[in-house]
Structure 1
Amino acid sequence: LVWGEKGLGVSVVDGSHVALLSATIADECFEMYEVEPVEIGLELGKMRDLLTLAGPSDLVEMDYDEAVGAINVRVGEVHRILRGVDTSTMDNPNLPQLDFQSKATIDSEKLSRALRAAKFVGELVDLSMDKNQMTVSVTVEAGEGVNVRFESGELSELSCASPTHSTYSLQFLDPLTRKLAGGLTNEVTLEFQDKYPLRLTWMSNEGGAKWTYFLAPRVMNDP
């Protein structure tokens, strides 16, 4: 967690370095925001478990005790102290700097529905795009499959220099898919191309928070 004068920056990478999530949350997204710039490492699982206790109207209060390197977290009547992790021992993930030649912005519920349908029949999803459409598809050996096509008129944005496609793991996309179905955001922008990571970006908190999710491609070796 990187607490700055104007907001919070968060970067998380999974243990296998397949997926990376980064967020910048502006100070106006908080009920109260009074900080001096500081960088804090945390065990994500402990914080996640604590936040599950919060109800829709509960405020989460956090304050950092630099003297002991711990964060005091209050959720309703629950108070817990979380020990910080030495950031010098952590693998600080950097966002890949990539230029994509294809980009589409889609309603988040439509994307969620397509990915959930894909998960019914397979573990890998093929994403493809050309200047007229974007397609989400899965095909298995028995011939069973799912193919969801979004024409340009169904997309808020579509730009594609040349037809492209790539394959990604639904195991990593599934948790995000569920969040999208729960109203995480209104629209999601997808950027991908052959053998490139998938980059998803979206806004929340009335534009005050920006999220970026990278997922490594599943590269299929030719026989």
Structure 2
Amino acid sequence: MNLLQVRRGQFVYYKNELHKVYSVRPLSRLPVLMYRIKDMEQVASRAENLTLHRPQHLDSFMLLGNRYTLRKDKQAEVDGYILITHPDPGHLDNYSLNEFEKVAELIDNKVYTTLLNTVKPKEFMVMSPGVDPDSRNIDYKDHAQITEEQREEERMLEKKAAEEAAVKPSVGDIYINLDNGIKAMIVAVIDDEVVLGHGERMKSADLVESDSWNLIYITNEEDF
């Protein structure tokens, strides 16, 4: 369905690829501002060049190199992600249609997000990591038109996401300081910072790229 009117937050297909509208400027020559969901590349277009897609249960898509499947039959989990498909924010909340939100806490069947929003179960679907066997890939409107260049873009995005996940410090990882021999375990990860067992706090990237600190033990998440 091609659009005559566009609203912020809608999922749309532009040049066969899935995008999300983040702004509409009615008086502009190219009034619709979007980003391609798989890599956040920004583009501008007119409404008549877009096709609407309403997210549904078992839709699967790539977001920044990671693939997710939308599930309305799963419970949200702390540190997981949700997609707000039927927004009904309270007066202290600040979210709208098709927002991606990270779960910070679960209390009384409500999701409290890292952006300090409170979201009710009827308002969202869970973004389950990976591909469900019964899922529908919605990255492209017409899969017959996918180019080899687009497939290569996806492979590179997936590779980059996997590399970033592999080097991301986790609670329980143990590092040794080559300058003084101190061994320290990561006891907390707060946003982009880590807290080591002896009290030192530093940026995750600085720890991973440091010439002084070397990783000597990687935590298996099942240990915690």
Establish whether TM, by shorter chain, passes 0.5: no
- Which TM-score band applies after superposition, normalised by the shorter structure? under 0.3
Normalising by structure 2, report the TM-score. Answer: 0.23
Higher relative contact order (CA 8 A, sep 6+): 1
